[in-house]
Structure 1
């Protein structure tokens, strides 16, 4: 009771009773501001300040995450430009050495043949990679349209074309691998965790970790073998990550719908107070098709408190997605679903103010921002 009395005296001292006199039109009006009224006004001001602070912090977090991705893209682009410049310098040096060399035509032809064999293996390993044909066709066409009549000059031009083709293949492989790796990082995932166990990648050119051993097998110079191996490694890693991306929930849960609410702190539509929103909301009409964002197994269907009719899909590797407030459910627990498969219809069941889909992505038991996975899906499509 003593502490309560002290607290009451402190509040009275902090907010003493005040009288406000207003003179208007020759009349004097008096207003009394009691301690309780002043405390109520101070509470309103403090609540508004807290709300503004929370909203500002949420905006800053989103801006910082977006700027971080932009910086990483710029960094990768700068690395790629430096890499291309280095390859061009190597090509110019090789051309100068070739022009200054006085070796026999037979030795040059033998070297060209061995390099052709190495390039054939590399192009075989790159066959089927999306965008490879478009990236390499110009260099291949230049090699096939040699117009020189002198046999030695033609061999020299073929050797130069080989350098250009290897540069094009190396640049394509590195840019594709970097883009797919960046897509995983944008989703908050570690790319190396989704490569084959032990880092084992396929391809005959990357079985040997030592470039000198590969150079001996291919019977080419070590620098050429190292560049071939690097390009083959990047292509194989990009292919492995692209295959892993097919199992990720990177697709959109609905088509032709707009996002109505984001991930993070927002004003609760029922309590009107700040509350954490653990997913994305997509608005639409009743029974709008809801689609699986990735392949997996249906882990739960039914009613969840606050979520209404809910579907949960286990995608493996600690990944799970949740689709809530549904009007109808068209799958059953234990059923395997494919990406884009219809799961149910949009509704407004549970703690909902209108027809919409509440979509969540969980990684190892923690809710993640689904917008990062949607952006990663867009990057994967660009890489393809």
Structure 2
């Protein structure tokens, strides 16, 4: 009680009663500013200052996160350039050694055949991977373009072409794996958490972690075996990440609808006061199709307070999406849905000022910024 009394006296000393006199038209009016009124005014000013600070901080976080992603992309690109330059230097060295060697054509042909078998395993593993054919076609075309009639030079050209083809395969596999990892980070997810348990990856070329053992199995030199293994490992990781990305809600929930409100603090359209907005809004016409942004199982359909008609989809691994203010619902609880499947029609039910979709992404019970997932989805498409 003594503390409360001291606090009260301190506040009264800080906000003493004040009298305000206003003269207008020859009349004098007096106003009394009590301590309570002054404290209320101070609280309003303090709350406004706090809101401005929070909004500014949120805006700065978005700016810094975007610039961080840009720096990550720039670093990745610079790493690729250094890596390609190193591979080109190795290739030039190999060509120089080949020209200077005095080994017999039979020995060279045998070595080429063994390398060819190793490459065949890698290229068979890459068959069907998105973008692989486009990445490897230029190297294959160069290999077929030689019209030299000298047998020794033709054998040398085949070996050089093998080096170039392996470089192209290695670059493709590493680039695809790195771009998919970056897509996960853009969504705020950890790529390693979506890899197979224990780091188990498929493919016969990466069963042996020791390049020397793989070189012995393939009967090729250790450097060539190491590069084969590196490309196979990156390709296998890219496939695992691509499969995991295919299960995430990365697609757009509606086509052609303009985004009208962002995730974060904004002025509430009803109260005109600062409030946290837990999703993205997309405006459109009544019954504009709404699509599932990823494969999953419908976990809820019906009315939620403030949201109106709602569809919720469980995508596994703690991820859930919510589609609100719907005019109609086109799915049932327990139904499995695929990415791009229609789940309802846009409307204005619940706490809504007009026809639009309110879209949310949740991870382990916490609202996430759906815009990060949309950007990651666009990046996954580029990686493909």
The two structures have a TM-score, normalised by structure 2, of: 0.92
Q: Does 1:287 align with 2:292?
A: no
Distance 2:12 2:207 in 1: 81
Superposition RMSD in Å:
2.4
Q: Secondary structure of the residue that 1:331 maps to in structure 2?
A: coil
User: What does residue 102 of structure 1 align with?
Assistant: 102
Per-residue Cα deviation, 1:120-171 (whole angstroms, up to 9, x for no partner): 1111111111111111111111111113222111111111111111111111
2:128 corresponds to which residue?
128
1:270, CA displacement in angstroms?
Answer: 2.6
| Alignment partner, residue 51 of structure 2 | 51
Distance 2:84 2:4 in 1: 75
Q: Which residue of 2 aligns with 1:140?
A: 140
| 222-231 or 116-125, larger mean C-alpha shift | 116-125
1:308 aligned residue: 308
Local SS of the residue matching 2:114: helix
Structure 2 Cα separation of the partners of residues 47 and 237 of structure 1: 50
- How much has 1:93 moved relative to structure 2? 1.3
* Aligned residue in 2 for 1:78: 78
Deviation at 1:204, TM superposition (A): 2.2
Whole-Å Cα distance in 2 between the matches of residues 9 and 363 of structure 1?
48
Structure 1 residue 3: Cα displacement: 6.9
Is 1:266–1:276's contact at 8 Å kept on the other side of the alignment? yes
Give the CA deviation at 1:44.
Answer: 3.8
Alignment of 1:109-188 (within 5 A): 109-188=109-188
Q: Distance in 1 between matches of 2:89 and 2:66?
A: 35
Q: Does structure 1 residue 222 correspond to structure 2 residue 231?
A: no
CA separation of 1:202/1:325 partners in 2, compared to 1, >3 Å: closer, same or farther? same
Distance, in Å, in 1 between the alignment partners of 2:90 and 2:30 is: 87
What do the CA deviations read for 1:97-129 (whole angstroms, capped 9, x no partner)? 112211111111111111111111111111111
Map 1:10-49 → 2, pairs under 5 A: 10-16=10-16, 34-35=33-34, 38-49=38-49
Partner of 1:237: 237
- What is the CA–CA distance in structure 2 between the aligned matches of 1:5 and 1:235, rounded to whole Å? 72
SS in 2 for 1:378: helix
1:12–1:35 Cα contact (<8 Å) kept:
no
CA contact (8 A) 2:295 2:339 kept: yes
What CA deviation, in whole Å up to 9, does each residue of 1:179-201 have, x standing for no partner? 01111111122222222333222
Partner of 2:67 in structure 1?
67
Mapped to 2, the partners of 1:5 and 1:208 lie a distance apart of 76
1:4 CA drift (Å): 6.9
Q: 5+ unaligned residues in a row in structure 2: which ranges?
A: none
Q: Determine whether 1:367 maps to 2:364.
A: no
Q: For residue 174 of structure 2, give the secondary structure of its aligned residue in structure 1.
A: helix
How far is 1:343 from its partner? 0.7
Deviation per residue, 1:64-110 (Å, 9 max, x gap): 21122112212221221221121111111111211221111111111
Aligned residues: 383
Shift of 1:12: 4.5
Contact (CA 8 Å) 1:325, 1:346: kept in 2 or not?
yes
- Relative to structure 1, is the Cα distance of residues 2 and 191 closer, same or farther in structure 2, using a 3 angstrom cutoff? closer
Q: Deviations over 1:223-250 (max 9, x none)?
A: 0011011111111211121122111111
Could you list the per-position Cα deviations for residues 313-339 of structure 1 after superposition, in whole angstroms to 9, with x for gaps in the alignment?
111122111111111111111111111
Corresponding position of 1:331:
331
**Partner Cα distance (1:219, 1:4) in 2:** 86
Instruction: Answer yes or no: is the 8 Å Cα contact 1:21–1:28 preserved in 2.
Output: no
Kept in 1, the 8 Å contact 2:20–2:33? The answer is no
Distance 1:34 1:364, change over 3 A: closer
- Residue of structure 2 in register with 1:270 after alignment: 270
* Residues 22 and 309 of structure 1: CA distance in aligned 2, closer, same or farther (over 3 Å): closer
